[in-house]
Amino acid sequence: MEPILRMEGISKAFPGVQALDKVDFEAYLGEVTALVGENGAGKSTLMKILSGAYKKDSGRIYLDGKRIELENPYHAQKLGISTIYQEFNLTPNQTVAANIFCNREPRKNGILGNLGFIDKEKMEREAKKLLDIIGADISPSQLVRNLSVAERQMVEIAKALSFKAKIIIMDEPTSALGPEEVEKLFKIIQQLKEQGIAVIFISHRLEEVFRIADRITVLRDGKLVGTMTRDSATPEKVINLMVNRPLSEMYGKQESAVKKDVVLEVRNLSKKGVIENVNFKLYKGEILGIAGLVGSGRTEMVRLIFGADKKDSGEIYLEGEKIEINSPEDAVRFGIGLVPEDRQNQGLILKLAVRENIGISILDRLKRKITVDRKKLTEIAQNFVGRLNIKTPSLLQKALYLSGGNQQKVVLAKWLALNPKVLILDEPTRGIDVGAKVEVHMIINQLAKSGIGIIMISSEMPEVIAMSDRILVMNEGKIVAEFNREEATQEKIMAYAAGHKS
């Protein structure tokens, strides 16, 4: 059988990273091809190239044997390649039918149609037909805002069908769905297969991949590392392909600085639909790694601890005493810092200078009568710029103009200025270059040595394993495994993180 889609030697580089390196990929009509890999393996980049959102640097794409050059997402859609994104592109205040036929609404006959009047009945009739094909029981005249997440997804799929899609890409389609909704989605995918459509299914959840896929393609570090039919694949084999790589030497092993005293304890932390009954202890000087896949609830968990989101229940003890954290303000007062995942939007105030960014959490301590003691602020900022080797032409440089690594160091400096007891790091080295990464690792190690308890979320398996004294693995909002540094391996962690074991 000839593949409907063939991608050959696709490469794509972003500043500082080779996201894709000569990747080949094929998809067949009437089949589900699963694309798997760790976070950052290049799955999304590859699919964004296929959907026209990114331009490839090199390589060829053949659709139905003909070479194509994709100009933009709309072009890809017209050629029959549709994508169902994790975040839907629907307008909530319009009807289902209007969304499906957005910008292609059927016109009324005659002069009214030429004037732009829309034939609403026809549009809703056509929409109903499409929804029936996938067995979705949704009224075309309903407003999208009244639909559940699963129903919105169905609308997206119907929209893809309205473009006469030959290929439908689903990017983590099950990540926001409950178990029953996943079953429904799988039935829809079955329908699509029967319609002779090629489905590309991106997922972290191996269990789902093995249920639905006919063919599995594995990416690692932007390279194709294996492609196989489901029958010749085993979960162990796929996990091996996903993570198998030598621990790079950059993560220098340091001696552990863990002390006996518990600095932070979390008991029964829950938030409905996000986090379920999380319990753990953090010791002084310990680096506690949190592993898990995107969407496993890691970020949500630390935001609950930090007071950035409201928890439903749960208790937090700091140095043995129960504390109430209802806002980040409270957390900071208790000496807990959070380096967020999204440095530019959550960690820094880009319009403000390096000095002000470093001093922002300790303003109240810098008061001299009524004004802020600028001399002291400058001293503190200068000290951290030196200690953390932050490369900036001046303390008054706006944070906007620093490189990613230096920006991250400014965020770290902000929390160090607070002299925290607990520091939570969410993806501390994401998107920064290798040199800065090593420096950030060294800073983290020093902090632990000074007695701070550190919680570090990272999607980079080697980083978690090399840096952590202890590792918690999360899956679907729960802690599903705990490893000491000696017993942790990428394979074991991945098996739990992907929900293959529990």
Partner 1 sequence: MREKTAVRFLRFQRVQEIGILFILLFLVVFLSIATPTFFTSTNIFNILRAFSWIAISAFGISMVIITGGIDLSVGSVMALSGLITAMMIKANLGVFLSILGGLFIGAFVGFINGFLVSKANLPPFVATLGTMSIARGFCYGLTGGWPVRELPRSFMFLGQYDIPLFGLGIPLPVVIMIILGIITSIFLNRTAWGYKIYAVGGNEQAANLSGINTGRVKLLVYTLCGFLTAIGGLLMTARLGVAAPTAASGYELDIIAAAVIGGTSLSGGEGTVLGVLIGAAIMQVLRTGMVLLGFPAYWQPSAIGAIIILAIIFDQYRKKRMGLLR
- Say whether residue 228 binds partner 1 (CB under 8 A): no
The residue range among 260-268, 292-300, 343-351, 461-469 that interacts with partner 1, by the rule CB under 8 A, is 343-351
Q: How far, in Å, CA of 45 to CA of 14, rounded?
A: 10
Q: Could you tell me if 175 and 274 are in contact, meaning their C-beta atoms sit under 8 angstroms apart? A: no
Query: Which one among 54, 85, 306, 483 touches partner 1, defined by CB under 8 A?
Result: 306
Tokens of 52: 């026209």
- Say whether residue 326 binds partner 1 (CB under 8 A): no
- Classify the phi-psi angles of 405: left when phi > 0, otherwise alpha if psi is within -120 to 50, otherwise beta: alpha
Query: Which one among 132, 183, 329, 379 touches partner 1, defined by CB under 8 A?
Result: 329
Provide the residue type at 132 as one letter.
Answer: D
Least distance in Å: CB of 323 to partner 1? 14
- Classify the phi-psi angles of 180: left when phi > 0, otherwise alpha if psi is within -120 to 50, otherwise beta: alpha
Tokens of 497: 């993180």
Alpha-carbon distances, residue 422 vs 259, 264, 270, 306 (angstroms)? 14, 7, 20, 10
The residue range among 137-145, 269-277, 323-331, 450-458 that interacts with partner 1, by the rule CB under 8 A, is 323-331
Query: Which one among 272, 279, 312, 401 touches partner 1, defined by CB under 8 A?
Result: 401
DSSP string, 181-198: HHHHHHHHHHHHHHTT-E
- Say whether residue 257 binds partner 1 (CB under 8 A): no
- Say whether residue 149 binds partner 1 (CB under 8 A): no
Q: How is residue 105 annotated by DSSP? A: P
Query: Which one among 361, 408, 458, 490 touches partner 1, defined by CB under 8 A?
Result: 361
The residue range among 54-62, 339-347, 440-448, 472-480 that interacts with partner 1, by the rule CB under 8 A, is 339-347
- Say whether residue 397 binds partner 1 (CB under 8 A): yes
Query: Which one among 226, 328, 404, 499 touches partner 1, defined by CB under 8 A?
Result: 328
- Say whether residue 398 binds partner 1 (CB under 8 A): yes
Q: Could you tell me if 5 and 62 are in contact, meaning their C-beta atoms sit under 8 angstroms apart? A: yes
Q: How far, in Å, CA of 101 to CA of 142, rounded?
A: 14
Query: Which one among 310, 333, 375, 449 touches partner 1, defined by CB under 8 A?
Result: 333
Query: Which one among 42, 340, 428, 431 touches partner 1, defined by CB under 8 A?
Result: 340
- Say whether residue 380 binds partner 1 (CB under 8 A): no
Query: Which one among 262, 360, 438, 442 touches partner 1, defined by CB under 8 A?
Result: 360
Q: Could you tell me if 138 and 130 are in contact, meaning their C-beta atoms sit under 8 angstroms apart? A: no
Q: How far, in Å, CA of 54 to CA of 41, rounded?
A: 16
Binding track, positions 17-56, relative to partner 1; x by CB under 8 A: ----------------------------------------
Residues binding partner 1: what is the number (CB under 8 A)?
A: 36
Query: Which one among 11, 346, 378, 389 touches partner 1, defined by CB under 8 A?
Result: 346
Binding track, positions 414-443, relative to partner 1; x by CB under 8 A: x-----------------------------
Query: Which one among 187, 272, 367, 375 touches partner 1, defined by CB under 8 A?
Result: 367
Provide the residue type at 403 as one letter.
Answer: S
Angle between helices 404-418 and 374-387 (to 10 degrees): 120
Q: Could you tell me if 338 and 302 are in contact, meaning their C-beta atoms sit under 8 angstroms apart? A: yes
The residue range among 103-111, 366-374, 439-447, 483-491 that interacts with partner 1, by the rule CB under 8 A, is 366-374
Question: Which letter, b or e, does each residue of 156-171 get, where b requires 16 or more Cβ atoms within 10 Å of its Cβ?
Answer: bbbbbbbbebbbbbbb
Looking at the Cβ atoms of 232 and 371, the one nearer to partner 1 is 371
Looking at the Cβ atoms of 195 and 397, the one nearer to partner 1 is 397
Please state the φ and ψ torsions of residue 133, each to the nearest 5 degrees: -55, -45
Give every CB contact of residue 463 below 8 A, 6+ residues apart in sequence.
251, 429, 441
- Going by C-alpha positions, the residue among 307, 358, 314 that lies closest to residue 336 is 307
Least distance in Å: CB of 153 to partner 1? 28
The residue range among 76-84, 105-113, 347-355, 434-442 that interacts with partner 1, by the rule CB under 8 A, is 347-355
Burial category of 466 from C-beta neighbours within 10 Å (exposed 0-12, middle 13-18, buried 19 and up): buried
Site residues (CB under 8 A) for partner 1? Answer: 306, 308, 327-329, 331-333, 338, 340, 345-352, 356, 359-361, 363-364, 366-367, 370-372, 374, 393, 397-398, 400-401, 414
